[in-house]
């Protein structure tokens, strides 16, 4: 069933705001993923505090980088946003489980979707906001 709604044309200002909002979590997640590949001692200690063995840092880092790359590619950005939502949901659950503040991953997920909404007309066509 084709969509009848057309997204409003995006202004340059909105497009660049979306690109910047998308770049912030992408850079943060790429840095985080690379740190999991490098595995400094502080990261291994943090994994232990969170209840995960240090051996999971490598596969989690690869997963984090892969999801972020899928998000950054314009043709697959919606799939990437869905994958990052799942990844950040797991991070949120981990922090909730041990009683840590969990607002970081939640805010990061909101910024992922806000940036995508501002830069991708396909998403705006699916979720039209009326003024």
Q: Which domain holds residue 56?
A: 12-126
The answer to whether residue 75 is domain-embedded is: yes
Alpha carbon distance 11, 51 (integer Å): 46
The answer to whether residue 17 is domain-embedded is: yes
The answer to whether residue 106 is domain-embedded is: yes
| Number of domains the chain contains | 1
The answer to whether residue 5 is domain-embedded is: no
pLDDT tens string 67-123: 999 999 999 999 999 999 999 999 999 999 999 999 999 999 999 999 999 999 989
Nearest to 97 by CA among 34, 38, 52, 66: 52
Whole-model pTM: value is: 0.87
Q: How many residues does the chain have?
A: 131
Residue 82 tokens, joined: 């869905």
The answer to whether residue 4 is domain-embedded is: no
The answer to whether residue 112 is domain-embedded is: yes
The answer to whether residue 21 is domain-embedded is: yes
pLDDT tens string 13-62: 999 999 999 999 999 999 999 999 999 999 999 999 999 999 999 999 99
């Amino acid at each position: 069933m084709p969509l009848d709604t057309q997204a409003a044309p995006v202004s340059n200002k909105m497009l660049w705001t979306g690109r910047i909002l998308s770049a912030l979590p992408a850079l943060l997640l790429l840095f985080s993923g690379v740190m999991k590949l490098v595995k400094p001692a502080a990261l291994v200690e943090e994994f232990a505090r969170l209840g995960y063995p240090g051996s999971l840092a490598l596969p989690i880092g690869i997963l984090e980088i892969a999801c972020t790359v899928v998000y950054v590619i314009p043709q697959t950005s919606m799939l990437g946003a869905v994958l990052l939502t799942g990844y950040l949901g797991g991070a949120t659950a981990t922090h909730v489980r041990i009683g840590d503040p969990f607002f970081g991953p939640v805010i990061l997920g909101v910024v992922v979707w806000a940036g995508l909404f501002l830069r991708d007309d396909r998403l705006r066509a699916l979720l039209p906001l009326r003024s």
